[in-house]
Structure 1
Amino acid sequence: MGNYNPVIGIAAVSCVPTTAKVAQKLVSKESPDSFILGDALGANISGVITSAIITGIYVTIIPYL
């Protein structure tokens, strides 16, 4: 298991692909040789998919409450 940059976590919030680009820009300031855009986009898309699944569950359950 390798080390992961904690900045990748900020990319999972929303706003595809802006937060991934912001994460890459922050990392590039500290270490110009680092490239995390692919990992950040993966976290970004995972966050979008999770939000869609949770929304589907809510839309299904709320009418029964």
Structure 2
Amino acid sequence: PGQFFALVVVLACAVFLTLVLWVRWPSVPSAWVTVAVFFIVRGLTLRYNWRTRPLVVED
């Protein structure tokens, strides 16, 4: 359990690939949008303390 760091990185990669491959944006503007999305979502996870749950709950 912890904060959503790896999930935010995967989301950022998906945003970049979507912008470059499907929307056909140039890579530099796509990278800047991806960086902005990453920092916004990461900031939200820190601000609201969103956390993952453990896979196995021990009694």
Using structure 2 for the length normalisation, give the TM-score. 0.46
Which structure shows the bigger proportion of residues in helix conformation?
1
The answer to which structure, 1 or 2, has the higher relative contact order (CA under 8 A, 6+ apart) is 2
For the pair shown, which has the larger CA radius of gyration, 1 or 2? 1
